[in-house]
Amino acid sequence: MIRPFLLNYFSFINVLLIEKKDVFLGSKRKKNKLLINNMETNTLQQEVMSKAQSWLDGNYNDDTKSDIRRMLNADDKTELIDSFYRDLEFGTGGLRGIMGVGTNRMNIYTVGAATQGLSNYLKAQFPDVPQISVVIGHDCRNNSRLFAEISANIFSANGIKVYLFEDLRPTPEVSFAIRHLGCQSGIILTASHNPKEYNGYKAYWDDGAQMIAPHDENVITEVTKITNVDDIKFEGNPALIEIIGEEIDKLFIENIKSLSLSPDSIKRNSDLKIVYTPIHGTGVMLVPRALKEYGFTNIIPVPEQNVVSGDFPTVISPNPEEPAALDMAVKKAIETDADIVMASDPDADRLGIAVKNDKGEWILVNGNQTALLFIYYLIRRWKELGKLTGNQYIVKTIVTTEIIKQIAESNKVEMFDCYTGFKWIAAVIRENEGKKEYIGGGEESYGFLPEEFARDKDAVSSCAVMAEIAAWAKDNGKTLFELLQDIYIEYGYGKEKGISVVRKGKSGAEEITQMMRDFRTNPPKEIAGSKVSIIKDYETLKMKNVTTGEESVLEFPTTSNVLQYFTEDGTKISVRPSGTEPKIKFYIEVRGEMKSRSEYNAADAAANKKIDAVRASLGV
């Protein structure tokens, strides 16, 4: 049965542990609270056991029932409670959770309910389409192929045509295929860069982008209507399932090749030494091929990480944002005296890079810097090639570096800010389609899209373009590190720092709510000694000029619980509660000056000092 629980197991356990400590200290009042919380915990356990029993009585397979019996018979009911205490929510981004048996797990039944709900919605939305169709892709994770095939069966059982990729493929290629094949929707089974225990289910609309309003909420409504396993049509129609692969790969690569802006630089530097790792994921299928088709001949693999595996055996986390995930690639780069290191996450939508600094040491380039390199290069080359006519635009998320805005404005290129998440960048592209020319868009969390033929962040095309940037820089007598320094010289130095303050349990959630309320009702007048000049509140969609008192409207498609403060010295602070974790996030960006490459270290040290002062001002 699929029914939301109002109680949160983790907050219960958190309170229970606190109360036990207080009982030990001899507080009679705490003893009473412990009794109440024990009663609540017992109630939760009874509800969980009832829910588990309904799966035993229902039309579930033998392996599932055997696993439930094992959890029911165990003395420790923690696993049972965690598996059934709530339903794995189909949110605006789809499903994501730990794999296993139960309503709070990724399994064939929770995936089945999501697919049945999406099928019902597609049939209601496209009654006049003779043959509704979808694309299904999956990454390297354990059970991803199983979940993809189960989904294919359910879609086809509902009369929907399915284009199922023959094997694992990058997320951006699924987006591309939806558009190319003229489908109404599509899904990919992936948990992106989450740990190996997780899997996920991302849903797309007919433009190849992740769903936004009203479709996201409407699909959620349809999924919640699936209240019984018997509501799910598992018996597929093979006649409606078509396997796709190489023909889409070829078209995707051909489109990527069309992005090149400096083919002569590539020819002169075709032997650029590129170390690339897919970190056991889908990038191995297309990234080396895309680089070769682009004109690069010296792609150096990391053999241990070319092994496709949902266990990610060589890393703790398959996330290119984590330095440890690039350790083996950097080691290979040192061995081979490479020019650049590139890594993609398991579904090949995020790109991480490493370069050599002025001392020859390998350093990681963060997401803001990566986006900066992309935007600077693309706009400069568009300008040099005479392609800038005043009708071009770029996109960034509101928490991404403001230097990008400076680059756009100085070159008379329009810039759009949007919320965090690539579905919002795709929404801007959709809004401007046929009206303006898209140059590129990115976010601080290592995602970039240098094209329009896909509508999700794309590490395949990004790897090709980043290799071209390295070749172009080399053609101009620079390393990528020196190119980044030169951008700072021209537009000013900038450094960013993300901070997450964790507050667990019910009391923690209340504290986070109060922190946002305090920031909203009593905003800081100055931060690190600089006066706050602009306040943006995305919950009310209002921007206030603190100096003049003037207010204006923020033109965004919906509200969001985010606050931003801009100070007179160029500092930007963004504050928002996490939507998926018990934390409140602070994004700090500080600015400085660089007049020469030799001043880089001093500018960086000054920025670090300013970040410390900002943290002290905010109390984080």
Asked if the structure places residue 234 within a domain, the reply is yes
β-strand partners of 343: 277, 352
Q: What is the pLDDT of residue 507?
A: 83
CA nearest neighbour of 170 among 452, 463, 408:
463
Q: How far is CA 106 from the centre of its chain?
A: 19
Burial class (CB in 10 A: 0-12, 13-18, 19+), 40: middle
Decide which of 244, 262, 282 is a domain's last residue. 244
Q: What is the pLDDT of residue 71?
A: 95
Q: Based on the fold, state whether residues 69 and 125 are members of the same structural domain.
A: no
Phi, psi of 280 (to 5 degrees): 75, 5
Q: Based on the fold, state whether residues 331 and 207 are members of the same structural domain.
A: no
Q: Provide the token pair at 330.
A: 């950097």
CA nearest neighbour of 16 among 2, 3, 33:
33
CATH number for the domain that contains residue 125: 3.40.120.10
β-strand partners of 363: 355
Q: What is the pLDDT of residue 389?
A: 96
Model pLDDT for residues 349-380, shown as the tens digit of each residue:
999 999 999 999 999 999 999 999 999 999 99
CA nearest neighbour of 320 among 297, 293, 352:
352
Element (H, E) at 522: none
Q: Based on the fold, state whether residues 97 and 206 are members of the same structural domain.
A: yes
Q: What is the pLDDT of residue 575?
A: 97
Rounded Cα gap, residues 395 and 440, in angstroms: 7
pLDDT-based confidence at residue 90 (cuts at 50, 70, 90): confident
Contacting residues for 430 by C-beta, under 8 A, at least 6 apart: 207, 209, 455
Rounded Cα gap, residues 364 and 95, in angstroms: 31
Q: Is the pLDDT at 12 greater than 80, yes or no?
A: no
Rounded Cα gap, residues 598 and 323, in angstroms: 26
Q: Give percent of the chain with pLDDT exceeding 70.
A: 93
Q: What is the pLDDT of residue 38?
A: 52
Rounded Cα gap, residues 514 and 578, in angstroms: 14
Q: Is the pLDDT at 87 greater than 70, yes or no?
A: yes
Query: What beta strand segments (E) does 106-214 contain?
Result: 133-138, 161-165, 185-189, 198-204
Asked if the structure places residue 520 within a domain, the reply is yes
Q: What is the pLDDT of residue 94?
A: 87
Cα–Cα–Cα angle for 83, 113, 224, rounded to 5 degrees: 85
pLDDT-based confidence at residue 505 (cuts at 50, 70, 90): confident
Other beta carbons within 10 angstroms of residue 178's beta carbon come to 27
- In order of 10, 235, 422, 509, 575, the CA distances from 503 in angstroms are 12, 45, 27, 7, 15
Rounded Cα gap, residues 587 and 317, in angstroms: 22
- The mean per-residue pLDDT over the stretch 482-488 comes to 98
Q: Which residue has the higher pLDDT, 136 or 17?
A: 136
Average pLDDT, the chain: 92
Q: What is the pLDDT of residue 93?
A: 77
- Structurally, how many domains does the chain consist of? 5
Q: Is the pLDDT at 25 greater than 50, yes or no?
A: no
Q: Based on the fold, state whether residues 498 and 597 are members of the same structural domain.
A: yes
Asked if the structure places residue 363 within a domain, the reply is no
Q: What is the pLDDT of residue 295?
A: 98
Q: Based on the fold, state whether residues 471 and 399 are members of the same structural domain.
A: yes
Q: What is the pLDDT of residue 89?
A: 84
Decide which of 244, 263, 295 is a domain's last residue. 244
- The mean per-residue pLDDT over the stretch 251-279 comes to 98
Rounded Cα gap, residues 610 and 615, in angstroms: 9
Asked if the structure places residue 356 within a domain, the reply is no
Q: Based on the fold, state whether residues 223 and 96 are members of the same structural domain.
A: yes
Q: What is the pLDDT of residue 580?
A: 63
Q: Is the pLDDT at 144 greater than 50, yes or no?
A: yes
Q: Based on the fold, state whether residues 127 and 50 are members of the same structural domain.
A: no
Q: What is the pLDDT of residue 41?
A: 64
CA nearest neighbour of 576 among 592, 590, 565:
565
Rounded Cα gap, residues 288 and 277, in angstroms: 9
- Peptide linkage before 214 cis (omega within 30 of 0): yes
Asked if the structure places residue 355 within a domain, the reply is no
Model pLDDT for residues 184-230, shown as the tens digit of each residue:
999 999 999 999 999 999 999 999 999 998 999 999 999 999 989 99
Q: What is the residue range of 264's domain?
A: 252-345
Q: Is the pLDDT at 9 greater than 70, yes or no?
A: no
Q: Based on the fold, state whether residues 99 and 219 are members of the same structural domain.
A: yes
- The mean per-residue pLDDT over the stretch 541-566 comes to 96
Q: Is the pLDDT at 511 greater than 50, yes or no?
A: yes
Burial class (CB in 10 A: 0-12, 13-18, 19+), 521: exposed
Q: Based on the fold, state whether residues 218 and 103 are members of the same structural domain.
A: yes
Other beta carbons within 10 angstroms of residue 242's beta carbon come to 14
Q: Based on the fold, state whether residues 103 and 234 are members of the same structural domain.
A: yes
- In order of 332, 413, 500, 512, 572, the CA distances from 581 in angstroms are 35, 37, 10, 11, 23
Long-range contacts of the stretch 131-134 (C-beta < 8 A, 24+): 131/161, 132/159, 132/160, 132/161, 132/184, 133/160, 133/161, 133/162, 133/163, 133/181, 133/182, 133/183, 133/184, 134/160, 134/161, 134/162, 134/163, 134/178, 134/183, 134/184, 134/185, 134/186, 134/187
Q: Based on the fold, state whether residues 231 and 112 are members of the same structural domain.
A: yes
Determine the angle formed by the axes of helices 215-224 and 108-125, rounding to 10 degrees.
Answer: 120
Asked if the structure places residue 361 within a domain, the reply is no
Q: Is the pLDDT at 39 greater than 60, yes or no?
A: no
- The mean per-residue pLDDT over the stretch 591-601 comes to 97
- The mean per-residue pLDDT over the stretch 112-118 comes to 97
Q: Is the pLDDT at 426 greater than 70, yes or no?
A: yes
Decide which of 86, 118, 138 is a domain's last residue. 86
Q: Which residues are catalytic?
A: 192
Q: Is the pLDDT at 16 greater than 60, yes or no?
A: no
Within 25-61, where are the H helices? 28-57
Q: Based on the fold, state whether residues 190 and 281 are members of the same structural domain.
A: no
Asked if the structure places residue 74 within a domain, the reply is yes
- The mean per-residue pLDDT over the stretch 569-578 comes to 95
Asked if the structure places residue 614 within a domain, the reply is yes
pLDDT-based confidence at residue 30 (cuts at 50, 70, 90): very low
